[in-house]
Structure 1
Amino acid sequence: MEGLAILRLLWTAATLGAAAAEAHPPPVTNFSISVKNLCTICWEWSPPEGINATCKLWYASHLGEDKVISLNNFRTEEVALNERVCLHVRSQCSVGSTNPSDAVEMCTVPPEGDPESAVTRLQCIWYNLSQMNCTWLPGKKAPPDTNYTLYYWYSTLEKSLQCTNYYLEGQLIGCSFELLKGNVSGSEKIQIMVADTAGAIRPSYNITLLNSVKPDHPVITALSFQNDSLYVEWESPENFESNCLVYQVEVNDSKPKKHKVEESKNKCHISQTPQELPRNSKHKNCLVIEHVNREALYTVRVRAKASKYCFEDDNLWSAWSPEKTIGQKSDSTFYTVTLLSIPVAISISTLLLLLYLKRLKIIIFPPIPDPGKIFKEMFGDQNDDTLHWKKYDIYEKQIKEETDSVVLVENLKKTSQQSE
């Protein structure tokens, strides 16, 4: 009986202890917030006052849907400060407590300025694992003469730095800064802020993960025929591991017109040993295209993108490599002359045919003579000329005779008078 009583006492004590542990604790105190670097937010708080000694304090903090339960009385996050950011903290006496304290909220102050004056489409791409290229569009209500300034920070920097290499890319404004692979880790986050020197626009923030990677274009080093196959060899861009790139090879041939795109991950077998290779030797890659026509002219180019095994696949292909050609170029002079001579021959043939048809028409359907025209030619012109001559002759004769007759008459009169 005494043993049973002791067990009951122990069970009661355990129950009371559990009840005390699960009691509703007071909320945290001295909640504060600070911002470091560009986008690093630090929340800190003090334990609640009057907490039961049997309560082992845990803190549940909510940042949106992201919940963290920890023994630490602080929380640090990298968040783009384009909007108001709030953290809710509750104290509780166990990890899985169902009776936490009331929530305490602490929020950041949103950036000042008109939201429509802030830049848009702020995006950063890690180019060839050597430099970060960030581009953006001006805001709708940004002054046209705005002088933009880009600041960046990552973990190995003591303070944020200002980008100095600005450029234009169509309507986009951009700035690039050096970011070598050896200076950052694969999980690094780059904090970006774009503002202006006069404070006329609203600052814009961005947290860039090192997963948007765009390599430099490969370089074709060998192009040759091997039996009935085409062998293509190229060098990888610098700074990439051998298995961190995927390649695309484009082949255009001239007989007949074709377009081939092949993807290659295979490495070529280099005849030299590693000791014989120079230290700065790049990785060799190759692709063999079978059943090619040696009499055709082949144009080859290659591009690359980061492999999903090393980076997230953003489908950011590099630019195409400079083209290389191999094979025989067909003589286009014969085809050019042929194309030009065909329309000339057709034109001449058409003209000759029209002349022949006109002559043939005259032979088959000769013109019928006009009798009136014949008689007119025979008699009409002659009669006209005769009448004209006769009229002229009579007229002249009449004038002559009248003049002569008058003279004769006068002479006769004078002669008669004198004789008398």
Structure 2
Amino acid sequence: MERPARLCGLWALLLCAGGGGGGGAAPTDTQPPVTNLSVSVENLCTVIWTWDPPEGASPNCTLRYFSHFDNKQDKKIAPETHRSKEVPLNERICLQVGSQCSTNESDNPSILVEKCTPPPEGDPESAVTELQCVWHNLSYMKCTWLPGRKTSPDTNYTLYYWHSSLGKILQCEDIYREGQHIGCSFALTNLKDSSFEQHSVQIVVKDNAGKIRPSFNIVPLTSHVKPDPPHIKRLFFQNGNLYVQWTNPQNFYSRCLSYQVEVNNSQTETSDIFYVEEAKCQNSEFEGNLEGTICFMVPGVLPDTLNTVRIRVRTNKLCYEDDKLWSNWSQAMSIGENTDPTFYVSMLLATPVIVAGAIIVLLLYLKRLKIIIFPPIPDPGKIFKEMFGDQNDDTLVRLMDQRRLYFLSSLINIDKLSSRKDIQAK
């Protein structure tokens, strides 16, 4: 019984030894470094590194290439002899590559070979700043920037752009100025390619004379998206609630948008804002053709006052990476009784005038009433003076007139007597 047991132990040792020898298919020795590492730039911001396999590599080694960028970012182990990356070329970008025989990161790769992109030419302070691009309603992209610190005011800027659906790099023609900002917009429609959302738009801004440092930017098509404002279709009251119906901007699915409903009340002079993540027209209160229509119920709204409603939308993270850009507010729509505030202002201004006029009329009326009730006592002296003083004056006038008549009549009589004597004498 001891001999068979010894034979089994010996056989196990042979198997273990044989297994160890079979593992030699993956040598643990360090491999030689890669050769002919080079770098090139395609389009505007697509950097491509290529290299050749190492010379003198072990024939039993299935080569894999370990690579990473500066600060050991984006580590990758793959069999391909090339690597590419979309990156803004505002600074130098370096890639380090080494060879190894396994896909384990813990294995020691060969000596790493490094290759960097050349830095942009020009003074860094001459490059434009705050270069930002926004994709408006999935229809056109608008980019804006500020001039660099060391830039001439008469610099003529040029913007070039590229994305995967273009066959070549294009120049933006619509350059404009808005205050200190300079901008340019170009058409960019949402293609039906399912992979289009995974791509980016590569941007570079420079001048025609080459005096400023180029500025690069990469805009992912899943971010920096600003929808157009929605359109309010209908408002109505029912059971003490306000129902709102609107349509989304074109080019967007309802599931990809979030909403904000603002209700302004004329009586309370307050604004209530409601955040809506999902709004469907499933209630029986909503009637008519609801295709493409979004609905929302605002509770506790007073129907006997004027209520003004506005809506805005933004993309959500269900479909996009960015949910920070709200659309502009929609055109406002009102419902309820319109209480004109100018009426109250007019009444407030007219009330003091009306009260003052009424007081003046009342005072005049009271003065006249006082005269009627309490007439003034006449002065006796004035009465007698008026009676006798006027009478004496009239008497004197009459006496003077009588004396004049008497004197005239006397003269006439004397004249007549003298005439008679003359006749008798003759």
Q: TM-score, normalised by structure 2?
A: 0.74
Name segments (4+ residues, structure 1) moved above 6 Å: 345-351
TM-superposition CA deviations, 1:64-121 (whole Å, max 9, x none): 3111101111111111111000000011122225322111000000110000111111
2:213 is aligned, of 193, 202, 220, to 202
Contact 1:156-1:183 at 8 Å conserved across structures = no
What is residue 380 of structure 2 aligned with on the other side? none
Q: Which residue of 2 aligns with 1:181?
A: 190
Distance change >3 Å, CA 152–CA 345, structure 1 → 2: same
Partner of 2:201: 190
Name the CA distance, whole Å, in 1 between partners of 2:219 and 2:163: 10
Contact 2:231/2:247, CA 8 A, preserved across alignment:
yes
Structure 2 counterpart of 1:55: 61
Report 1:284-323 matches (<5 A). 284-323=293-332
Q: Report the secondary structure of 1:60's partner residue.
A: strand
Alignment of 1:33-48 (within 5 A): 33-48=39-54
Report deviation, 1:252. Answer: 0.9
* C-alpha distance in 2 between matches for 1:42 and 1:334: 73
Aligned partner (choices 81, 90, 93) of residue 89 of structure 2:
81
Aligned length: 343
Secondary structure class of the residue paired with 1:135:
strand
Q: Show structure 1 runs of 5+ residues with no match.
A: 352-420
Could you tell me which residue of structure 2 aligns to residue 266 of structure 1?
279
Structure 1 residue matching 2:75: 3-state secondary structure: strand
The residue type paired with residue 63 of structure 1 is: F
Residue 264 of structure 2: aligned partner: 252
CA displacement, residues 159-210 of structure 1 (integer Å, 9 cap, x when unaligned): 1111112233332211111111125622111111111111011001111111
1:223 and 1:231 in contact (8 A); partners too: yes
Residues 285-319 of structure 1 deviation map (CA, whole Å, 9 limit, x = unaligned): 12222333232111111111112211123321100
Q: 1:303 and 1:5 mapped to 2: Cα distance? A: 77
Structure 2: gaps of 5 or more residues:
1-6, 361-426
Kindly indicate whether residue 228 of structure 2 is the aligned counterpart of residue 228 of structure 1: no
Identity of aligned residues (%): 51
Contact in 2 for aligned 1:153/1:190 (Cα 8 Å): yes
Whole-angstrom distance in 1 between the partners of 2:144 and 2:229: 21
Q: Give the letter for the 2:169 counterpart.
A: S
Contact 2:316 2:323 in 1 (8 A): no
Q: 1:44/1:255 Cα in 2 relative to 1: closer, same or farther (>3 Å)?
A: same
Alignment match of 2:120 (pick from 82, 105, 111): 111
Judging changes above 3 Å, is the alpha-carbon distance between structure 1 residues 342 and 39 closer, same or farther for their aligned structure 2 residues?
A: same
Q: CA deviation at 1:8?
A: 7.1
Alpha-carbon deviations, 1:108-145, whole Å to 9, x = none? 00110000111111111111111111111111111111
Q: Deviations over 1:339-365 (max 9, x none)?
A: 2245557889999xxxxxxxxxxxxxx
Contact 1:234 1:285 in 2 (8 A): yes
**More deviation in 169-178 or 303-312?**
169-178
Aligned ranges 1:325-404 → 2 under 5 Å: 325-332=334-341, 334-341=343-350, 344=353
1:130 to 114, 139, 145: 139
The 8 Å contact of residues 58 and 69 in structure 1, kept in 2 or not, is answered as yes
The two structures, once aligned, show a CA RMSD in angstroms of 2.7
| Cross-structure match for 1:143 | 152
- TM-score (norm. length: structure 1): 0.75
1:68 paired with 2:38, answer no
